[in-house]
Amino acid sequence: MLKMFKPLFCCLFFLVTICRAQTNALSVAHHPSSFPLFTSSTVAGILIDEQDAKVVHIAAEAFIADVELISGKTMQLNKRGNAMQVIAGTIGQSKHIDQLIKEKRIDVRSILHKWERFLIKVIAPNKLIIAGSDPRGTAFGIFHLSRAMGVSPWVWWADVTPQKKKQLYVSGSYLSKEPTVKYRGIFLNDEDWGLQPWAAKTFEPETGDIGPKTYAKIFELLLRLRANMIWPAMHPSTKAFFHYPGNAQMATDYAIVVGSSHAEPMLRNNVDEWKEKTMGEFNFITNHDTIYNYWEERVIQSKGLNAFYTLGIRGVHDSKMLGANTLQEQKLLLDKAVKEQREMLAKHNNPDITKVPQAFIPYKEVQDIYDAGFEVPQDVTLVWCDDNYGYIRHFPNEKERTQTGGNGVYYHLSYWGRPHDYLWLSSTHPAQMYTQMRMAYDKGARNMWIVNVGDIKPGEYLTELFLDMAWNIDSIANNQKGLEQHLHNWLTREFGTANAKDLVAVMNEYYRLAYIRKPEFMGATRTEESDPKYKVVTDLPWSEEEINQRLKEYAAIDTKIVQLTKRMSSTKQDSWFQLIEYPVRGAAAINRKLLYAQLARHNKGSWALSDAAYDSVVAFTNRYNSLANGKWKYMMDMKPRKLAVFDKADRQIIDKPLVQTAKPLCVFNGTGYQTFYGQKPLAHGMGYQRGAVSVAKGSAVTYTFTSTADSAKIVLALAPHHPVEGTKIRYSIQVDDGPVQTVDYATQGRSEEWKQNVLTNQANRTTTHAIGKNGKHVVKITAVDEGVIVDQVKVMSSE
């Protein structure tokens, strides 16, 4: 009997390890006092109060479907005659839960009046209780039990079929903590090449758009991922969220908070809703009344909606504000806009403006206005942004941490813009995201985390990792082992223990290779540059040896995926292709296409191999769009924005040799340090060889090399972070007892250096040192500021 239930217990153990709740005694296994959720001949019922929130009813219906997927049996909802009952409800909104509290059969004092907490407990052998501190807490508790049963949050969105079971018992109890980040959600963006055409043509043709039917599925996914917030899709291909009345109603039903991006103040979608022909220019100086009324109309319309209002003003579609040229003019205009926006919120929403959730998002040029002294009201949440490539531009300082509205982060896993889009495959390194978000959290960004997920697919794993961190920042140990354990657990849940170990190695390599250069960046092209040369695919600055090594590394994981595919059961083939095979083999194929083309341009390789790789991407994409009997048709586009990097390589010959890159005398990965001073360096798996280390401010690492020269050049390759405090991010370097050189590697705006840094994921600095003697020499690198991550130390010839 115990052997039969071991997989169930393991599944739950994984879940509890991720959540690290105050008590982890809930067990899906058969004990004398356990609750039989279903057996070979029976299935429990589920009881909820008809007056409880709609989201509780929705979660209960989803749970019934989950149980049926696993057992083949259908639970009865609100049927009193069931001998076994799951009783789910919200404290104060469920008569069933309140009665149990009154009878002192459950103790809810620890979750009472808390944010999104829940208790799961078996009482006697015939009742399983799920009590939530609020409706979302109840829904999270219900979906927590689904996870414990073995149902993936991606059960619908990635066709992850749970393992069938003949019987399943639950015992013990589980008490959740409050989430470490209060508002946690996703931004649907750049949806033109996946989510919108799929919704319009395949899933929701009745609206021909991302409408309430699509949002219902998105909102269920958010609840399964323990998220509570949406920034809706807003590109020109999509009608505004409020265009379809059912969208807002769905958000209310699913208890999802509706916000909007940095470019969409007051829940308006300017791209779709601002009609310049009839409304005039979006200029708050010359067209003030029209814009004011436009905002006020949405405030009135959204009254009663669970909303988070973005304050401020920018131009239509993510452009600079009109009518103000100097920083001072922009500051005065922004101040006027925010003041009037808050006045209308107080008038129509709540006279106590501090009770209305509001955000101010210093994105791009708005950051400059903020830095010039713009004062954000204390009750407003400051939401800081990355540079669109995963490196946060500003972390809350001491003054900002006192903001009563708190701080947050808007982070990208997908982006359209300079220096190059990455809209196709989701390949941001998990450790890059983790280290940035962990630092943001430690610096006080704890009120709102939003991640730009593009089309949702194929960013499933990174989305879940981001939201797991937001739910409980300490659920993932702050080191490389913690991140690898999270990945291992995820892969185990989706594809089984037998495959997880091999898969961790493959996915680590997938992310490492993309860290060196994302698949979308492999053509050496750029977007939104005035010089036409950047539209033409050309050589990367890599030698023949480097190209062949990268081809070899991609071939290894491509071959491994082909082998592992054969292990997958027929019920796992669709989810396997979506979550693993398409991104890994797609990345390998586009690298082959462009690297073989580079070799062929110099008569070093075969055009046929490049063309075959292109054909592979076409075949993979066609297969993706035919999965699950056409369920995902139009979801995957292999050429977002039809950029040249995605085309079949043009056949041309270059009458000059490939570059010859200078070989270092020796190379150390960050983890190859010999000694350290101060805090021990922390590794997370980042870097060109997964050997980067975070060096704490004031701490140092040393590396030893041997040389016969009088001097040496040392190239230090660092993760291209932005300053954590102030305007500088510096390290100091010393060889032996020589002079100490202090180097700042902060970049400014969208400078050429910044572009190179984000395309290569390295900031490189070279220093020259007189060493004057043969033999061993010690390089000492000290972090002068916070945020220093040493990837590689290269000792070069000074000649």
Token pair, residue 30, equals: 């058969």
Residue whose entry in the numeric block shows the structure tokens 């592992």: 564
CA distance 396 to 297: 33
How do beta strands 693-695 and 788-797 pair?
antiparallel
Token pair, residue 506, equals: 């493959």
Query: Using the 8-state DSSP alphabet, how is residue 186 labeled?
Result: E
Token pair, residue 66, equals: 């989950």
Fold annotation for 503-646: Methane Monooxygenase Hydroxylase; Chain G, domain 1 (1.20.58)
Token pair, residue 57, equals: 């009813």
Say if residues 70 and 156 touch (Cβ distance below 8 Å).
no
Note the CATH number of domain 2-175. Answer: 3.30.379.10
Q: How far is CA 263 from CA 135, 277, 289, 310, 313, in A?
A: 31, 20, 19, 9, 7
Fold annotation for 185-476: TIM Barrel (3.20.20)
Token pair, residue 122, equals: 């078996």
**Bridge partner list, 89:** 131
Total-model pTM: 0.95
Say if residues 760 and 715 touch (Cβ distance below 8 Å).
no
In three-state secondary structure terms, 258 is strand
Domain spans, the chain: 2-175, 185-476, 503-646, 666-797
In three-state secondary structure terms, 95 is helix
CA distance 106 to 116: 18
Pick the CATH number of 666-797 from 2.40.50.100, 3.30.1330.10, 2.60.120.1620, 3.40.50.300: 2.60.120.1620
How remote is the C-alpha of 580 from its chain's centroid? 17
**Bridge partner list, 129:** 87, 121
> Taking Cα atoms as reference points, which of 121, 136, 167, 130 lies closest to residue 23?
121
Same fold, 2-175 and 503-646: no
Q: Indicate the length of the chain as a whole number.
A: 799
- For residue 285, the model assigns a pLDDT of 94
Say if residues 418 and 440 touch (Cβ distance below 8 Å).
no
Token pair, residue 205, equals: 């043709």
CA distance 796 to 766: 10
Cβ count near 739 (within 10 Å)? 9
Say if residues 514 and 432 touch (Cβ distance below 8 Å).
no
Say if residues 769 and 711 touch (Cβ distance below 8 Å).
yes
CA distance 144 to 224: 8
Q: What is the DSSP string of 3-45?
A: HHHHHHHHHHHHHHHHH--SEE--B-S--TT-EEEE-SS-B-E
**Bridge partner list, 222:** none
CA distance 41 to 532: 70
- For residue 321, the model assigns a pLDDT of 86
- For residue 32, the model assigns a pLDDT of 61
CA distance 265 to 77: 42
CA distance 129 to 209: 39
Query: Average pLDDT for consecutive 10-residue bins of the chain (799 residues)?
Result: 29 30 55 86 96 98 98 93 92 98 96 98 93 98 97 98 95 96 98 97 98 98 98 96 97 98 94 96 95 98 97 86 89 95 97 98 88 95 97 97 98 97 98 98 98 97 98 97 98 96 97 98 96 96 97 98 96 98 98 98 96 98 98 98 97 93 94 98 98 98 93 96 96 97 96 97 97 91 98 91
Contacts of 201 by beta carbon, 8 Å cutoff, 6+ apart: 208, 633, 634
> Taking Cα atoms as reference points, which of 715, 768, 425 lies closest to residue 583?
425
Residue whose entry in the numeric block shows the structure tokens 């070899």: 552
